[in-house]
Amino acid sequence: MSGLKLDNPVIPASGTFGFGYEFAQLYDINILGSFSFKGTTKEPRFGNPTPRIAECTSGMINSVGLQNPGIDKVISEELPKMKKCFNKKVIANISGFSVDEYVYTCEKIDKEEQVGLIEVNISCPNVHGGGMSFGTSCEAAAEVTKAVKSVTAKPVYIKLSPNVTDIVKIAEACENAGADGISMINTLMGMRIDLKTKKPVVANKSGGFSGPAIFPVAVSMVYRVYEAVDIPIIGMGGVASPENVIEMMLAGASAVEVGAANLIDPFASKKIVEGLPDAMKKYGINNLKDITGGAH
């Protein structure tokens, strides 16, 4: 997949797996294809005020706000810790609030041998563009892609927001600007209101809605983007079982990220990896590589 060799397609998604070593205390995380570590920004971020989590039917809302120690600490402290418990290449998830920030952070992480792929999250509000996220316009998405590609040698996957009118056009703009692949989808926007207090449950009012409820939306978007681009897709959004992995791959994904499921059950990704051989046998699949886009 863009030069990053995975021995299986299961990847815990950024923001649901920390920096890996917390999960390494529970099981050998080397059974995973890779993992996308916590969203990293140029400066350290404390994140949004609490409460940040709200439960929903078949899902959850989070508004963590990219809490992370910043790129310098990630390189000096987190990567060495990861190396002790994970001997494969990791995926670096990078966020920014201006094109310059994306460039700065991606250029730094690009030099790290442990990182096999850079996943650029363009769902952040563009501070210079009035707060609209980079991922909501073709021009802004292309601008970030082009800028990051000019300072990196590693494969760059752009992580797309589903909160747009036409995700296909944005994927095409990223491909035309030089993206090596697409990661999709990020969370939908959601909100809960507490009936006792009559106020939003999450301090930030709304947040990212994830979990099994969004899986059909993700499958549909991956399917449509696969028809429009010639670059690989990492599919995600509500994936919670080996069958979900197969379905996402049939829609067009080359690999699959598991998000909210890790927060519900810390062994979720392990169980999915271990359950894949039986699911493959059940559906007559000899090699997972052969099924990408098989539903088209």
Catalytic residue among 106, 124, 138, 174: 124
User: What's phi and psi for 218, nearest 5 deg?
Assistant: -65, -45
The rounded distance, in Å, linking the Cα atoms of 160 and 283 is 30
Single-letter code of the amino acid located at 163: N
Helix runs in 34-87, H state only:
71-73, 79-85
Handedness of CA 265, 256, 189, 15 (dihedral sign): positive
Known catalytic residue at 124: yes
The rounded distance, in Å, linking the Cα atoms of 163 and 44 is 26
The rounded distance, in Å, linking the Cα atoms of 90 and 29 is 12
* Non-local CB neighbours of 278 within 8 Å, separated by 6+ positions: 242
User: What's phi and psi for 130, nearest 5 deg?
Assistant: 80, 10
Helix %, strand %, coil % of the chain (to 5) = 40, 20, 45
* Active site residues per annotation: 124
